[in-house]
Structure 1
Amino acid sequence: MIIGLTGGIGSGKSTVARAFETFGAAWIDADDVAREVVAAGEPALIAIKNRFGDRIICQDDGTLNRAVLRDIVFKDPEQRQWLESVTHPKIRERILEHLKRLKSQGAPYVLLVSPLLFESGQSELVGRCIVVDVPQALQLSRTLMRDGVSESQVRAILAAQLTRDQRLAKADDVIDNSGDHASMRKQVARLDASYRQLLNC
């Protein structure tokens, strides 16, 4: 069974995924895959450089300057759409490769952790969807503390994602991650038991 795990920026998706891992689940992070497909030498990075020029390449090591690219695409929806048209098919292809590998390793179920699970169509790859939910004010404060980006940039990222209500409407399961770690872990334990029961049906 493949289960999607999503939530807005700063909702704590990776923390929740690590909690599931302690119960034996395997997981793959679509953000990590997104970094793989724009690594130095990858076709997607070459296409991005051809469109935006050397300014989006770190001169010391030839890797993508994600901060510069983020600034470009979140100011211009047309540029973001172009970037997604280049990267999303490659991300999906790589995700399928990783899922196949993880499923062969014997975990009871695999989580696909993705901030754009619904927006990118990756939800088609999963049987159930978990939404990690927190109030937007908490998303904002956590992201500002963690990423060192401007508030306007965080708000632009939030605007590019589904709204909280839209995301919740698509959820099969919800984890409220606005409380402490113990509260989150109890919710994970309950869902883990539920998924194992489904697998045994």
Structure 2
Amino acid sequence: MNIGLTGGIACGKSTVSSMLVRRGALLVDADQIAREVVEPGTPVLASVIERFGADLLLPDGSLHRKKLGERIFGDQEARKALEGLLHPPIRATMRARMEAYAASDPDKLVVVDVPLLYESKLQGMFQQVMVVYIPRELQLQRLMGRDKLTQEQAEKRLASQMPIEEKRALADYVIDNSGSLEDTERQIDKFWTERGLL
């Protein structure tokens, strides 16, 4: 069985994915794959540099991700161009890892952590989608605290994603991460037991 795991920024997806992994799930991390596809020497990195400029290369040959983020932030056309370069190899790698896990460990739950799952319309890749949820006000507070942002900066980040209430409404399974870690663990235990996972 596989599930797509998503949520909003600062909702606690990493916390939930690590709880699932501790119980024996296998993790495919889209953010990790996104870093891998632009490692020094990769064709994808060459394409990004060609499109966005050689000043995005650090002295060690790696991508200056923060600078790239600043360059595309608020520029719809640039963001779409970057997604066109990155998304196909990221999705192909995700699919290959899911298939490899399904073949080697058919009885295990495969969790695929995809931050922009709904925005990228990827729900069809998964048997079910789990959303990690916290109310928007708490999301804003946690994001400001975690990334040391002003309220205006945090609001802009939230506005770039589908609202968390919409994601919650689309989910097959919701984990409410607004309480204590123990409370979140209890919900994961319930999910694990209901699915008959070993």
Compute the TM-score of the two structures, normalised by the length of structure 1: 0.89
- Whether 1:63 and 2:70 are equivalent positions in the alignment is no
**1:120 aligns to what?**
120
Paired residue secondary structure (2:195): helix
Paired residue secondary structure (1:196): coil
**2:170 aligns to what?**
170
Counting only pairs closer than 5 Å after superposition, residues 82-121 of structure 1 correspond to structure 2 as: 82-106=81-105, 107-121=107-121
| Structure 2 gap segments, 5+ residues each | none
Counting only pairs closer than 5 Å after superposition, residues 3-18 of structure 1 correspond to structure 2 as: 3-18=3-18
Deviations 1:138-192 (A, max 9, x none): 3233334434566555433322211112211210110110111100000001011
Cα root mean square deviation, aligned: 1.9
How far is the alpha carbon of 1:70 from its aligned partner? 1.0
Distance 2:63 2:150 in 1: 20
% same residue: 38
Distance 2:72 2:150 in 1: 15
Structure 2 letter corresponding to 1:141: Q
Paired residue secondary structure (1:104): helix
In 2, are the aligned partners of 1:55 and 1:68 still within 8 Å (CA)?
no
Aligned in 2, Cα 1:90/1:149: closer, same or farther, shift over 3 Å? farther
Compute the TM-score of the two structures, normalised by the length of structure 2: 0.91
**2:138 aligns to what?**
138
Distance 1:112 1:146 in 2: 23
| Structure 1 gap segments, 5+ residues each | none
Distance 1:151 1:82 in 2: 29
Aligned residues: 197
Structure 2 letter corresponding to 1:64: L
**1:32 aligns to what?**
32
Aligned in 2, Cα 1:151/1:49: closer, same or farther, shift over 3 Å? farther
Structure 2 letter corresponding to 1:84: E
Aligned in 2, Cα 1:86/1:172: closer, same or farther, shift over 3 Å? same
Structure 2 letter corresponding to 1:21: V
Structure 1 letter corresponding to 2:166: Q
Structure 2 letter corresponding to 1:111: V
Distance 1:79 1:97 in 2: 28
Q: Which moved more, 1:85-94 or 1:21-30?
A: 21-30
Deviations 1:3-22 (A, max 9, x none): 01100111110110111112
Aligned in 2, Cα 1:20/1:92: closer, same or farther, shift over 3 Å? same
Aligned in 2, Cα 1:37/1:157: closer, same or farther, shift over 3 Å? farther
Structure 2 letter corresponding to 1:49: I
